[in-house]
Structures are given as C-alpha cells and as structure tokens.
Amino acid sequence: MLKGISPLVSPELLHVLASMGHGDEIVFGDSNFPAASHAQRLLRADGNTITALLDAVLPLFPLDYAVDYTAVLMVYRGETEPKVWGRYREILARYPDGNKEFLTLQKPDFYERAKKAYCVVATTESEGFANIIVRKGVVRL
C-alpha cells in the first residue's frame, strides 16, 4: 500500500500505468467484454466497477491532449444512452483534457482497437456498453 494511491490500483495495474507511454491506450472492459481473447496484456480487476477504477486511476494518469476525444466507447443499441456514459463524463471532466467528446466505434472496430491497446483491464462491471478506452497523455511535472 502506498499513500495517495487508491487500494483499487493493484501493483500490477500501477506497473502498467507507469510503463505506458504517450499515446498508449488502456481498455476497461465490462463483465461481458472478451478480455482474454483481445488482450496483449490482461489484468483482472474482479469486484470492481469501471467508474470506481477510473476514479482511482485518473489522478495518476494524464489524458491525451493530442486527440479530439476524451475516450473511446462502443456504439450502443437503443434509444437512450447508457447511464454509465454520463458518469464517465462527470469523472473525466475533473481532469485536464477530460471534457472532450467521446469517440464511438461499432463493436467490430472497438474490438480491433482493443486488440492493439497496451492493456485490457477486465472488471465485473455489470452495466451494458460500459467498455471504455482511455489514451495516455504526457506526464507534466
């Protein structure tokens, strides 16, 4: 345990976050996301929601200023946006470069992008269409 770092950030996740470079992407997959078959690096975060992990990770993780979007989401089916997307907006907006639009991709395109991500974090998030990809920015000290 370290001071100032949420206990939700495991040593493995902390290592991944520190190892990522500018432009690398990390996927937080919901409980239905095929994480094992799509990950170059797979971390399990069982018992955690994606919103809780974002709250824990984003104080340590700069969002990328060099793109026109805050995060990448999978296109949903239905008339109303998934509720979790509103929570993502609230969380991301607290951080520099977190107040941009989302980039939404069709499921096959999202899956292809996830395969190229630096890491996939598998969660037990139960809300549908909660998968999210965030891109690391530049660490400014």
Which residues are known to be catalytic? Answer: 22, 64, 111
User: What are all long-range contacts of 90-97, with beta carbons under 8 Å and residues at least 24 apart?
Assistant: 91/51, 91/54, 91/55, 91/58, 92/54, 92/58, 92/63, 94/58, 95/58, 95/62, 95/63, 96/62, 96/63, 96/65, 96/137, 97/62, 97/63, 97/64, 97/65, 97/70, 97/137
Burial zone of 52 (CB within 10 Å; 0-12 exposed, 13-18 middle, 19+ buried): middle
Q: Are 136 and 21 in contact (CB under 8 A)?
A: yes
